[in-house]
Amino acid sequence: MTKAIDAAILLNKNYQEQSVFLPENLLREARRQKYIEDCSVPSVCILDPDGDLVDYLLKNGKAKMNECWSCYHSKLYSVLLDDRQVGIIPCVVGSSYAVLVAEQLFVSGCELLISITSAGIITEPKTAKRFALITEAVRDEGTSYHYLPKEKPSALSKELIEHLPENDLWFRAKSWTTDAPYRETTSAIIEMKAQGITCVEMEAAALYAFAETKNRNVICFAHLTNTMAQQEGDFEKGEYFGSLESLALIRSTLNTLNNKN
C-alpha cells in the first residue's frame, strides 16, 4: 500500500499560531538602522507591479519619496490624488514579495491596499473592458498556503464585493495565480479555461489569503494586456503604458467605496 506524501508546503501549518517573526518588529529595526522617523504611510496604498505608473508620475513631477516607509526591499512614493495622499510601490512582482510588502504596509498605517497587475488572457471576456476585478483566484502559488488551509478559496471579501459592483471600467472575473509564468503550459491553460478562469497573474491568491487571515482590506485588479507573448505586438497597455487608465481606475475605486460609506 502506497502512503500518500504531502508536499512540504502543506506540512507543519498551525494556522492559529502566531509567527515569531513579525513585520512591525522588522520595521522597528529598519527605522533604527536607517534613522527613519516612526510615522505613518498613506491610508490608501497601491501596488504597481510593472512600475509604469510610478515612472509616469515621477517623470511628470507628481510623485515624491515617502520618508516614513522603512522597508528594506522597496520604495514607496506619495502622490496627491484628488486631495488625497496615496502611496504607490513599484515593481512588487510575485506572491511572496507582494505579501511581504502588504504585511509591512498594514502595520505602517495602510488601511486599504489596491494591486493593479498586468495579466495574461486565458478566456477572452465578453466585454471590451480591460480591467478585471478579481473576485477569486486559483491558488497555484505557495504563499497562500502559509495563511489559509488548502481547502479554502482565496477570494475578495464579501463586503468589498458588495461595495464594488461592475462599472464602465471593470468587470468581475476569476483569476489563476501562478509562481511560474514560464510554466503556463497548454494543458494547464485548458484546465483553467474549463474552470471559467479569465486571466493569469502572480499575486492575487496570496494577497487575498493574507487579507482574510489578517482581516485587511485588499483589492486586486488585473489589467488584461497579453496572451502570453504568443504573437508579436503583445503586452500593449495603451498611452503612457496604461498609466492614465490606472489612475482612472484608482479614482473610480476610491469614489465607489466612499459613496458606499
As a whole number of angstroms, the distance between CA 178 and CA 139 comes to 7
**pLDDT score for 238:** 80
As a whole number of angstroms, the distance between CA 83 and CA 3 comes to 61
**pLDDT score for 240:** 86
As a whole number of angstroms, the distance between CA 75 and CA 3 comes to 47
**pLDDT score for 142:** 97
Residue with cell 481547502: 151
In the chain, the domains with their CATH numbers are 42-226+240-260 (3.40.50.1580)
**pLDDT score for 7:** 83
Q: What's this model's pTM, rounded to 2 decimal places?
A: 0.96
Residues of the chain with pLDDT under 50: 1-2
**pLDDT score for 91:** 98
What is the DSSP-derived secondary structure letter of residue 242? G
**pLDDT score for 235:** 83
**pLDDT score for 228:** 86
**pLDDT score for 1:** 40
**pLDDT score for 4:** 56
